[in-house]
């Protein structure tokens, strides 16, 4: 399978299989506060994650690059990132590391947004040299290393050997001179995994949970022998955030991605301990179908929704969200109880 064709398949199937109905965020609700004692104008969206001071908690998370047709998507995403001061990650650069002729489809992101925060992205199979080259390709400010074991296993041409990942991640972390963020791609993360990462020196984790883009479904669409029984594999985003308890927060900053549909989901993730919230599928759908002005209006809408929720909860800063009481119900509560986290 041609890599650039795979990139286009991923976009097509991510758009077609998106889980835009209910998800784990619907199991989370707030205790109303009728006397918040603040005004909307006082609310602030700035946050800190992975030692980056960010004007917004929204992160345009890793999606694409590696094929001619992905250049336009990355260009549009980069314009949104620039105009709304959002940090942005590019899709896996493994394709460009093997075939430099496709590097421009990633570099467009830096070209459009020379002063913005841009994160490079590689898989945990990358060598130290490849990780460094990925950062250099974009003059990136940070490096994401993605973990996607189940996706690879379901991908017809995917990797089958996952040994040595933690050692390689540690070596990359020790040798690149930008912050390293280890992320899941939508199967969520257990505390046990996070502890292994922090023990290896990782200080920034994106729990990347189930509930939005489902790469088991995406790969099953591409496969002649789909394994549909794996489509519910993993932890949801809310379950993963509950896994990131005090022990984890003492050692790492945590962000969440997976199924954020609007600003209310973002503030829920923040109150569950996320310092920033990644968005992929929801933005891809907007970028795919709408001109840039409408994409910017969508981001403005999310920012407004976050500030409406902050006002109603009496939160001036996002960092205060961790002290907000939450009600967790349904399957999320049941599963969290089994893990001793409710």
Stretch that binds ligand FNR, among 112-120, 173-181, 182-190, 292-300 (CB under 6 A): 182-190
Closer CB to ligand FNR, 193 or 311, in the complex: 193
- Residue in this structure with the two tokens 């929204």, named with its chain if needed: 58
Binding string, residues 141-180; x marks residues near ligand FNR by CB under 6 A: ---x-x----------------------------------
Residue 171 is assigned to a ligand binding site: no
Decide if residue 212 touches ligand FNR (CB under 6 A).
yes
Of 6, 11, 81, 240, the one binding ligand FNR (CB under 6 A) is: 11
The separation between CA 229 and the C-alpha centre of its own chain, rounded to angstroms, equals 24
In terms of Cα–Cα distance, which of 251, 160, 254 is closest to 200?
251
Site for ligand FNR (CB under 6 A): which residue of 71, 257, 275, 332?
257
CA 277 vs CA 19, 331, 341: distances in Å: 18, 22, 21
HSE (side-chain half, CA atoms, 13 Å) at 151? 18
Question: Which window, 62-70, 134-142, 195-203, 310-318, contacts ligand FNR (CB under 6 A)?
Answer: 62-70
Other Cβ atoms closer than 10 A to 337: 11
Counting contacts by CB under 6 A, is residue 258 touching ligand FNR? yes
Of 91 and 142, the one with the shorter C-beta distance to ligand FNR is 91
Contacts (CB under 6 A) with ligand FNR, residues 98-127:
121
User: Roughly what angle, to the nearest 10 degrees, separates helices 70-84 and 292-313?
Assistant: 40
H-run or E-run covering 52: strand 52-54
- The full DSSP string for 135-201 is HHHHT-SEEEEEE-HHHHHHSTT-----TTHHHHHHHHHHH-SS-EEEEESSS---HHHHHHHHHTT
Question: Quick one: 185 or 336, whose CB is closer to ligand FNR?
Answer: 185
How far is it, in rounded angstroms, from Cα 83 to Cα 50?
A: 22
Does 92 interact with ligand FNR (rule: CB under 6 A)? yes
User: Distance between CA 70 and CA 151 in Å, rounded?
Assistant: 21
Residue nearest to ligand FNR (CB): 212
Closer Cβ to ligand FNR, 117 or 280, answer by number: 280
Closest to ligand FNR by CB, 147 vs 336, is 147
| Residue 94 C-beta: closest distance to ligand FNR, Å | 8
- Tell me if 17 is assigned to a ligand binding site: no
By rule CB under 6 A, what count of residues binds ligand FNR? 27
Asked whether residue 196 is marked as a ligand-binding residue, the answer is no
Q: Which is nearer to ligand FNR, 88 or 248 (CB)?
A: 88
* Contacting residue, 102, 185, 197, 241, with ligand FNR by CB under 6 A: 185
Q: What is the dihedral of CA 134, 270, 292, 92, to 10 degrees?
A: 20
Q: Is 162 left (phi over 0), alpha (psi -120 to 50) or beta?
A: alpha
Segment near ligand FNR (CB under 6 A), from 61-69, 135-143, 241-249, 310-318?
A: 61-69
The dihedral built from the CA positions of residue 233, 235, 237 and 240, taken in this order, carries a sign that is: negative
Binding site for ligand FNR (CB under 6 A): 10-11, 14, 61-64, 91-92, 121, 144, 146, 183, 185-186, 208, 212-213, 257-260, 279-282, 284
């Amino acid at each position: 399978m041609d890599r650039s064709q795979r990139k286009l398949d991923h976009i097509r199937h991510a758009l077609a299989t998106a889980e835009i109905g209910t998800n784990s965020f619907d199991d989370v609700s707030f205790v109303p506060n009728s006397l918040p004692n603040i005004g909307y104008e006082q609310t602030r969206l700035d946050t800190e994650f992975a030692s980056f001071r960010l004007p917004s908690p929204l992160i345009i998370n890793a999606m694409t690059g590696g094929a001619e047709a992905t250049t336009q998507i990355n260009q549009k995403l980069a314009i949104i990132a620039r105009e709304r001061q959002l940090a942005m990650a590019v899709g896996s650069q493994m394709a460009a590391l093997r075939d430099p002729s496709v590097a421009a489809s990633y570099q467009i992101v830096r070209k459009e947004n020379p002063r913005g925060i841009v994160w490079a992205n590689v898989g945990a199979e990358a060598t130290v040299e490849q990780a460094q080259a990925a950062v250099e390709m974009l003059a990136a400010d940070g490096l994401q290393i993605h973990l996607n074991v189940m996706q690879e296993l379901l991908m017809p041409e995917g990797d089958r050997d996952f040994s040595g990942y933690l050692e390689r991640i540690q070596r990359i972390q020790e040798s690149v001179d930008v912050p390293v963020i280890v992320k899941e791609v939508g199967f969520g993360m257990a505390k046990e995994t996070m502890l292994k990462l922090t023990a290896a020196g990782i200080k920034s984790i994106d729990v990347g949970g189930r509930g939005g883009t489902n790469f088991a479904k995406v790969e099953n669409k591409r496969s002649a022998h789909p394994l549909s029984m794996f489509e519910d594999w993993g932890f949801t985003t809310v379950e993963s955030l509950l896994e990131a308890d005090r022990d984890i927060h003492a050692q790492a900053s945590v962000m969440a991605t997976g199924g954020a549909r609007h600003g209310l989901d973002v503030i829920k993730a923040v109150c569950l301990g996320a310092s920033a919230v990644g968005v992929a599928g929801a933005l891809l759908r907007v970028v795919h179908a709408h001109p840039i002005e409408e994409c910017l209006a969508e981001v403005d809408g999310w920012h407004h929704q976050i500030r409406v929720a902050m006002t109603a909860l009496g939160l001036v800063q996002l960092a205060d969200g961790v002290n907000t009481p939450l009600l967790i119900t349904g399957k999320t509560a049941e599963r969290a109880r089994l893990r001793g986290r409710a």
